[in-house]
Structure 1
Amino acid sequence: MHTKATASPYLLDRHKTRLGFERAAHTYDANAVLQREIGHRLTERLDLLKMQPETVLDLGCGTGAISEHLLKRYKKARVIGLDLALNMVRKTRERGGWFRKPHGICADVARLPLRAQSVDMVVSNLMLQWCNDLPAVFGELVNVLKPDGVLLFATFGPDTLKELRASWSKVDGFTHASRFADMHDVGDALLQAGFRDPVMDQETITLTYSEVRGLLRDLKGIGANNATQGRNQGLTGKARLQAFLQAYECFRWENGLYPATYEVVYGHAWAPRLLPSPLPEKFIPIRKL
């Protein structure tokens, strides 16, 4: 007897993901308080990397805040902003000065349109959680990075939006948020793809809201729509939304504020070193018996 394998309800719909960010390109900056703060903390870690890269890739560039920082930090580098959403790429290309702006590419990280060994550094702020297959994505990055190139990233861990997920679980059986990879699983995926010397750490950041609807507005404003395959394909009715808001009440603090937890995973890893070419056969010493 054969059973048909069913896809995980947490697999992300790439079209739905892209559409959410396309629509949010003009509202993203006004709502991306957390994303800016994490981006600031991420780019501070560049101080530890004593590099002067020629080409830097901002992977999942959004509206280009990281790309603009990279232009200022590495004044001679070519900065490329890559995003799945074309409207985000257009915003990124508006960054910078008159004579120097980021290059923009609209593409899927699973199929990078870049030459092998053409990038010295990849910086990615809160994009990897939108990928279904981390080892495959990391494999793409190993391919485009030069030997000894570096990947620096921030992504979300499993405790992210735990209050939202727990509240919705009391209302229905649909998926309402992505399933975020554990820090150790991300590290294993890096090694599986061929990266070396990964360094990982995490922190928890809690945002607070005077009302839960404020959290929902922020998520919509940055384009972080529910793109899971197991989501409710119809509209969320008033009764179900009210039941969700009521369930969230159990998380309200004594001061009346509602928390939204984000587990932030930071990491960096190095591309494989350039191995020395093997000696020509005539120079291989032969051991005499």
Structure 2
Amino acid sequence: MNLNKSLIAQRFAKAGQSYTEQAIIQKQISQHLCQLMQGYCPEHLPHILEIGCGSGNLTQQLASNFQVEQWYLNDLYPQVQQHFQSNLPIQWMIGDIETLDLPLDLNAIVSSSALQWINDLPALLTRCHAALKKQGWLSFSTFGIDNFTEIKQLTGQGLDYWSINVWRQQLEQLGFDVIWLEQQHLSMQFESPKAVLKHLKATGVTGASVQQQRWTKQSLIDFYENYQKFKLENDQYTLTYHPVYCIARRKE
């Protein structure tokens, strides 16, 4: 799937405030990524590039736990700037990271819940490798092949995700040491299939995960009926998140 970046930006910008309230799983993921970084990365990371900073979940975590002298913060749309403290030493990089020039001699490149929106991951990872200092850190979370499996099963629509084995293979081929690589399956529960769609819309995820789906009254009825197979004994409906976490380091 070739992702429509302008549509993605529109959906996330529109969901700006509701994202902060609804992105419960994304907050947990950024917290876990920060904890992993604390276990492996040095406390002093002077120059950090964050890809897809969003509402600042990861930025805030890292700012509290690492010594950073310069933040390079990237996202598709300028509205994200409202979520950040003015006292942070930020250089904004607004736009599609696939077309922007990356700063050089970085100590770390980080990203949480954003790399799944990249059209050409190998090309971006190659550029990240070049932008890092030797022994620089690439630390990120993204999502795996079971992400939103309920939606994909019912609509046939969804993003193309790499398996954890493909991530390891790609990173090692590019000259990274993969220090830590893990995956989780996290489940949210909702009172109705309609509430599932409202959650996706409130987090901006419908910008691409179901961007090809053209909802009609009948297709919505069918979707709600078919979602019954994901109903639990407590009358709640599941939505699966499949985060993948990686701590990698550029070789000499």
TM-score (norm 2): 0.91
Deviation of the 1:219 alpha carbon: 1.1
How many residues align structurally? 251
Q: Partner of 1:278 in structure 2?
A: none
Q: Partner of 2:26 in structure 1?
A: 35
Does 2:135 align with 1:156?
A: no
Deviations for 1:69-96, whole angstroms, at most 9, x for unmatched residues? 22222245322221122212x234xx23
Aligned mate of 1:13, from 4, 7, 22: 4
Q: Distance in 2 between matches of 1:80 and 1:222?
A: 24
Q: Distance in 1 between matches of 2:194 and 2:209?
A: 21
Q: Partner of 1:165 in structure 2?
A: 152
Q: Partner of 1:138 in structure 2?
A: 125
Does 2:69 align with 1:77?
A: yes
Q: Give the letter aligned to residue 88 of structure 2.
A: R
Deviations for 1:167-187, whole angstroms, at most 9, x for unmatched residues? 22xxxxxx4221221111122
Q: Partner of 1:179 in structure 2?
A: 160
Consecutive unaligned residues of structure 2, counting only runs of 5 or more, are none
Check the 8 A contact 2:5/2:96 in 1, yes or no: no
Q: Distance in 2 between matches of 1:55 and 1:195?
A: 19
Deviations for 1:179-224, whole angstroms, at most 9, x for unmatched residues? 2211111222212333233531111101111111122111111111
Q: Partner of 2:49 in structure 1?
A: 57
Aligned pairs for 1:251-262 (under 5 A) are 251-262=230-241
Does 2:15 align with 1:24?
A: yes
Consecutive unaligned residues of structure 1, counting only runs of 5 or more, are 1-9, 169-174, 274-289
Instruction: For residue 110 of structure 1, give the secondary structure of its aligned residue in structure 2.
Output: coil
Q: Give the letter aligned to residue 253 of structure 1.
A: L
Q: Distance in 1 between matches of 2:229 and 2:178?
A: 42
Instruction: For residue 72 of structure 1, give the secondary structure of its aligned residue in structure 2.
Output: helix
TM-score (norm 1): 0.80
Q: Distance in 2 between matches of 1:194 and 1:165?
A: 33
Change (3 A) 1:78 1:189: same
Check the 8 A contact 1:153/1:268 in 2, yes or no: yes
Structure number with larger C-alpha Rg? 1
Q: Distance in 1 between matches of 2:53 and 2:154?
A: 31
Q: Distance in 1 between matches of 2:151 and 2:177?
A: 36
Deviations for 1:231-271, whole angstroms, at most 9, x for unmatched residues? 14xx4111100101100101101110101111111111111
Runs (4+) of structure 1 moved beyond 4 Å? none
Does 2:235 align with 1:224?
A: no
* Identity score, percent: 25
Q: Partner of 1:110 in structure 2?
A: 98
Change (3 A) 1:80 1:35: same
Instruction: For residue 241 of structure 1, give the secondary structure of its aligned residue in structure 2.
Output: helix
Deviation of the 1:104 alpha carbon: 2.3
Deviation of the 1:226 alpha carbon: 4.4
Aligned pairs for 1:117-132 (under 5 A) are 117=105, 119-132=106-119
Q: Distance in 1 between matches of 2:87 and 2:76?
A: 26
